[in-house]
Amino acid sequence: MACIPEGYKSILGAYDTQKAIGLLKRLFEDNLSAALDLHRVSAPLFVEAETGLNDDLNGVERPVGFDIKYTGTTAQVVQSLAKWKRMALHLYGFYPGKGLYTDMNAIRRDEEALDNLHSIYVDQWDWEKVITEKDRTLDYLKSTVMDIVKAVCDTQATVQAIYPKLAQTGTLERRVKFVTAQELEDMYPDLTPRERENVIAKEHKTVFVIGIGGKLRSGRPHDGRAPDYDDWSMNGDIIFWNDLLGCAFELSSMGIRVDPESLDRQLTESGCDDRRKLQFHRMLLAGELPLTIGGGIGQSRLAMLLLGKAHIGEVQTSVWPAEIRRECGEKGVMLL
């Protein structure tokens, strides 16, 4: 369901919105690549199912698959590029301190709820960077988070200078509140994970929640995370407070990636030992892939946040149920 704030009216018209989206994407790519020393590369729209390169996300989402007549093999539309990026860094010969970013377009057929923030179409900047063993620390993770937040805030400042009307959306908080998922559970044991994020984000405006995927003391994880890309003890989500929608607004999921030891442990813990036979997992367990940090940053999410949009359908073209189109139309919201 769409939940459009009472009295909402888009600050920019459709024409200026399209121009602004193009501008902010170029600006953010420049800011991000400069901050993290990343180089743009081309990315696949699909991968062969047998390689294990496609992401399983929370482990239950079904990828979109199709057979290839000529090869007789099966391909899957990517759900994200976390594993592919790490393999690419290995094949392309990147060395520590250098990384890549790419445009990723995906189809999430099993998205549970289509609403203001969720669509079956996903567009994000996927990035990955080679690190050393000494960089596999929370301090390095936090430093990288602050670099990304700075890139977001610098992009907002430039976009608002070019479109002064957007100043009414406010200014994003550059200071990041770091909190672990366990600390959040201890602070608000009677709230759901989403409710905890709302409370902490409303107070601190910009938050990074650390430690997603592993079970907390309650026996439940803060959120699902596949066992074979992030190290669950050194990952997290970048969350901004969205004043327009009155909720926590996740912009990025990221983290220091698994090394052979943490992959071995997380595969067993999650009951996914069958993946050990896949090419990607065999190489990682054998120590043949570089140590990395990486993540995804939502392009439509960033456009929503910086342009003061109430619905993700205002900044991307997707498929929506008739009920959502009717509700948005009644409230003057133009879905692309």
Catalytic site includes residue 108: yes
**293-330 residues labelled b (16+ CB within 10 A) or e (exposed):** bbbbbbbbbbbbbbbbbbbbbbbbebebeeebeebbee
Catalytic residue, from 29, 123, 197, 237: name it.
Answer: 237
Neighbour tally for 13: CB within 10 Å: 9
Catalytic residue, from 33, 76, 156, 253: name it.
Answer: 253
Q: If you search the block for the tokens 């003057």, which residue do you land on?
A: 332
Catalytic residue, from 29, 80, 108, 154: name it.
Answer: 108
Residue 95, token pair as written in the block: 């060395």
Catalytic residue, from 197, 250, 257, 275: name it.
Answer: 250
Q: If you search the block for the tokens 């509700």, which residue do you land on?
A: 327
Catalytic site includes residue 124: yes
Catalytic residue, from 80, 124, 233, 300: name it.
Answer: 124
Catalytic residue, from 55, 128, 135, 228: name it.
Answer: 55
Residue 291 in contact with residue 259, Cβ under 8 Å?
Answer: yes
Catalytic site includes residue 253: yes
Catalytic site includes residue 110: no
Active site residues: 55, 108, 124, 237, 250, 253
